[in-house]
Amino acid sequence: MIGYPYETAPAPGAAIEVAPGLLWMRLPLPMALDHVNVYALADADGWTIVDTGLDAKPCRAAWEAALAGPLAGRPVARVLVTHHHPDHVGLAGWFQSQGAELLMTRTAWLFARMLTLDVQETATPEQIAFWSSAGMAPEILEARRTERPFNFADVVAPMPLGFTRIEEGQRLRLGGRDWIVRFGHGHAPDHATLWSEDGEIVLGGDQLLPSISPNLGVYATEPGADPVAEWIAACRKLQPFATEAQLVLPGHKLPFTGLPDRLRQMIDNHEGALNRLRDHLRAGSRTAADCFAPLYKREIDAGTYGLALVEAVAHLNHLLALGEVIRERRADGAWIWSLAADRQHP
């Protein structure tokens, strides 16, 4: 059973001690998911920070208040980033510039540094072709052809050359505890989660969230990816290590207990979505953009359209990998997806 030991989150700049020497803080984000959780572990030489928020004024202000307040003016000795997404790595370079050591998986660091250096003033032809192939709504596609796209560097501070690699199965001594690194996949490649060897705490990042599902997206960088398979496999791989008593400290929402039930839920959620998608395709051929209703069961607005589209592609790619669907290119470049059995037996 999933439980929530804390009913409310700390205000920006404040902290809640969730275990001796381990502080939970929350930073504001300018998006629908309006916060990210970060953590500070007390070490002899200063603090170890887990995740950083965006490189944006509200996040920097919250950190400055925390450093002067609950972090008591002690230095940040190191920063551990769970994965390469901007709300987690955004201020890593800022802390590095002040002398902190950066710990990341190699894949996460390479992605983050590559993306900070890849600034585009307009969408690339590959991006446009990918959106077209997903059946993006014409008016949205037309706007994206000319508007400046989101660039990683807009919200991620420059990352100096150099980092300390963390690896699957590695043991780390942080905050007076020994931790085992276990990788997740699907939401982000080589997503680091940390499991205390005393069995009490898990630092879950976005791999282990309590009440929402992280986005499983496919992008122009790897249009044939199957993050749904990677996600389900990662959840199953982590199941043997989960216990009811562990306090899970997630990247968003509230800390929780009941990780075995939550891992089962996370697998069931996507298997249920795949079944609804199969039924949807049984009624007729679709583009990825035509598949929002069965996958999300709610209205998708402009703010969530992009994430919904890349996750729809992810679920269709998974069915393609299973051999359950086929696709044909429409004249406008969009893939039209059909159940393989329907096409073979009209």
| Span 298-322, pLDDT tens digits | 889 888 999 999 999 999 999 999 9
Q: What CATH number did the domain enclosing 235 receive?
A: 3.60.15.10
Rounded to whole angstroms, how far apart are CA atoms 228 and 311? 9
Q: Does some domain include residue 207?
A: yes
Rounded to whole angstroms, how far apart are CA atoms 345 and 108? 45
Rounded to whole angstroms, how far apart are CA atoms 214 and 311? 10
Kindly state the tokens that stand for 98.
């002040």
Is residue 92 a contact partner of residue 82, using CB atoms and an 8 Å limit? no
pLDDT in tens, 14-27: 999 999 999 999 99
3-class DSSP state of 36: strand
Q: Does some domain include residue 304?
A: no
3-class DSSP state of 306: helix
Phi, psi of 156, rounded to the nearest 5 degrees = -125, 125
Torsion, CA 51, CA 246, CA 215, CA 8, rounded to 10? -70
Is residue 156 a contact partner of residue 115, using CB atoms and an 8 Å limit? yes
Rounded to whole angstroms, how far apart are CA atoms 116 and 112? 6
Query: What is the residue-averaged pLDDT of the chain?
Result: 96
The reported pLDDT for the residue numbered 32 is 86
pLDDT exceeds 70 at position 342: no
3-class DSSP state of 65: helix
Is residue 243 a contact partner of residue 260, using CB atoms and an 8 Å limit? yes
Grade residue 83 by pLDDT with cuts at 50, 70 and 90.
very high
Rounded to whole angstroms, how far apart are CA atoms 81 and 84? 7
Q: Does some domain include residue 308?
A: no
Is residue 294 a contact partner of residue 121, using CB atoms and an 8 Å limit? no
Angle at the Cα of 279 from the Cα atoms of 276 and 282, rounded to 5 degrees:
155
The reported pLDDT for the residue numbered 2 is 96
Percent of the chain past pLDDT 70, that is, above it, reads 99
pLDDT exceeds 70 at position 345: no
DSSP code per residue over 172-209: EEETTEEEEEEEE-SSSTTEEEEEETTSSEEEEETTS-
Q: For residue 65, what are the domain limits?
A: 16-118+150-268
Which residues share a beta bridge with 43?
46
Q: Does some domain include residue 11?
A: no
Mean pLDDT over 120-139 rounds to 96
Contacts of 184 (CB under 8 A, 6+ apart): 191, 192, 193, 205, 207, 208, 234, 238
Q: Does some domain include residue 246?
A: yes
Q: Does some domain include residue 59?
A: yes
Q: What is the pTM of this model?
A: 0.95
Q: If you ran DSSP here, which 8-state letter would residue 10 be given?
A: P
Mean pLDDT over 20-39 rounds to 96
The reported pLDDT for the residue numbered 275 is 97
pLDDT exceeds 90 at position 42: yes
Q: Does some domain include residue 325?
A: no
pLDDT exceeds 50 at position 346: no
The reported pLDDT for the residue numbered 297 is 83
Count of structural domains, the chain: 1
